[in-house]
Amino acid sequence: MEKLFVQTSTHPYFIYTEEDIRFSITELLPKNYSSYFIITDDVVAKLYLDDCLQNFSQDQQVAHSIIPHGEQTKSVDTYYQLLTDALSYGLDRQSLIIALGGGVVGDIAGFVAATFMRGVDYIQMPTTILAHDSSVGGKVAINHELGKNLIGSFYPPKAVIYDTATLTTLAAREVRSGYAELMKEALIRDESFFHDLLGTSLAALTNDQLVSHLQSGMAIKAEIVEADERESGIRKHLNLGHTLGHALEAELGYGKLTHGEAVAIGMLFALRVSEKLFSINLPYDELYNWLEQNHYPLTLKRLNPDLLLRKMKSDKKSVHNKVHMVLVKQIGQIQDVEVPDQDLALLLDTFLRELVIE
């Protein structure tokens, strides 16, 4: 079993990665809990909820709630309903919440754990490749009507239990979405990982490749969040591609593009802006071609750049109403830059023109 150690400001935890590990949950928990509350979505529930429930004996108190899948479910209404469920099931401060699912489930279940009776323990059981990113590092959140992840906390899990068998049921789109974040981690930190990914065909992905890529990605993520848990410095680098990515998701309506697909376009934009602002050459074309070969959606309907810009300004990284973008000086060397509105509008306009069809 692969085991990755993460130190946080409050406690250490492990990321366990192995096939079929979903049948060994209780062995990997740090202690016994008064009760267990599994939060999952309707898609994952059909596939893996029964497997998870098998971990518990009859005398253990185990409850579950199934929320609709998709980004729309990360709302204040679902959040409040889950708190009501937790109270109705008799959860107390010695209970454990189990987030079984992708990033949406992990984010909202983590925020429930962070704020239920001022915080109870929780573990992440990611069932998507994308969630390798969100499940590590303790960022939990729900969406506000005015933007994504605007309500949340830093609240690390007590363990991440990653069953790679659950990744075999993913649709191609979900694989693409997850690999965009792996590509981001490579761009931020590790040139050889970047080239390794460029040489990978997602359609012909082997399990060994996948596990190796996840380990590389999570190691990068863990190293960064250990150094800067609350995102006052280098953790911001993990937002590469996310400024435009989040704005695209919000502007198109959550769910039109997957998160990773939006981030992929955002990364292309970040590379383009980096090339212009730093007057350098970056592997934009290599990344573009790889994304294209792997069927990432790289064309967009006509969008209003002003509206996109406004969304980018409501990004959490904005300060004094100025957009801050994570830019690339070279692979593995990242800089957080305030981009003046006028420059940004121009760069965005040109970039969108390259991608937009109609």
Is 1 a binder of a copy of itself (CB under 8 A)?
A: no
Residue 51 Cβ, how far from a copy of itself at the closest point, in Å?
27
Among 29, 47, 63, 150, binds a copy of itself (CB under 8 A): 150
Is 173 a binder of a copy of itself (CB under 8 A)?
A: no
Within 222-261, the residues that bind a copy of itself by CB under 8 A are 230-231
Radius of gyration of the chain (CA): 20
Within 82-141, the residues that bind a copy of itself by CB under 8 A are 83-84, 87-88, 90, 92-94, 114-119, 139, 141
Give dist(CA 330, CA 171) in Å, integer: 33
Q: Which is nearer to a copy of itself, 22 or 242 (CB)?
A: 242
167 has binding-site annotation: yes
Q: How far is CA 128 from CA 100, 165, 308, in A?
A: 10, 10, 28
181 has binding-site annotation: yes
Q: Which is nearer to a copy of itself, 51 or 226 (CB)?
A: 226
Q: Which is nearer to a copy of itself, 206 or 321 (CB)?
A: 321
Report DSSP letters for 184-211, one per residue. Answer: HHHHHH-HHHHHHHHT--GGG--HHHHH
Task: Return the SS3 of 7.
Answer: strand
Is 10 a binder of a copy of itself (CB under 8 A)?
A: yes
Cβ-contact 11, 20 below 8 angstroms: no
Residue 30 Cβ, how far from a copy of itself at the closest point, in Å?
14
344 has binding-site annotation: no
> 3-state SS string over 42-73?
HHHHHHHHHHHHCCCCCCCCEEEEEECCCHHH
Q: Which residue has the tokens 């889950």?
A: 82
Give dist(CA 100, CA 97) in Å, integer: 9
Among 37, 48, 122, 154, binds a copy of itself (CB under 8 A): 154
Give dist(CA 268, CA 351) in Å, integer: 9
What spatial distance separates the first Cα and last Cα of the chain, rounded to whole Å? 50
Number of Cβ within 10 Å of residue 101's Cβ equals 33
Give dist(CA 15, CA 302) in Å, integer: 42
Q: Which is nearer to a copy of itself, 154 or 351 (CB)?
A: 154
Give dist(CA 254, CA 357) in Å, integer: 21
Quick one: which H or E segment has residue 174? helix 172-189
Q: Which is nearer to a copy of itself, 90 or 207 (CB)?
A: 90
DSSP state of 149: E
Is 209 a binder of a copy of itself (CB under 8 A)?
A: no
Residue 152 Cβ, how far from a copy of itself at the closest point, in Å?
5
Q: Which is nearer to a copy of itself, 98 or 141 (CB)?
A: 141
Q: Which residue has the tokens 């390794």?
A: 196
Backbone angles phi, psi at 301, to 5 degrees: -70, 160
Residue 130 Cβ, how far from a copy of itself at the closest point, in Å?
20
Is 64 a binder of a copy of itself (CB under 8 A)?
A: no
Residue 71 Cβ, how far from a copy of itself at the closest point, in Å?
18
Cβ-contact 183, 267 below 8 angstroms: yes
Give dist(CA 243, CA 323) in Å, integer: 8
Q: Which is nearer to a copy of itself, 144 or 173 (CB)?
A: 144
Is 9 a binder of a copy of itself (CB under 8 A)?
A: yes
Residue 24 Cβ, how far from a copy of itself at the closest point, in Å?
25
Give dist(CA 55, CA 146) in Å, integer: 40
139 has binding-site annotation: yes
Residue 151 Cβ, how far from a copy of itself at the closest point, in Å?
5
106 has binding-site annotation: yes
Is 317 a binder of a copy of itself (CB under 8 A)?
A: yes
Which span (47-55, 209-217, 252-260, 316-324) binds a copy of itself, by CB under 8 A?
Answer: 316-324
Site residues, a copy of itself (CB under 8 A): 9-10, 34, 76, 80, 83-84, 87-88, 90, 92-94, 114-119, 139, 141, 144-147, 149-154, 230-231, 314, 316-321
User: Which residues define the annotated binding site for Zn(2+)?
Assistant: 181, 242, 259
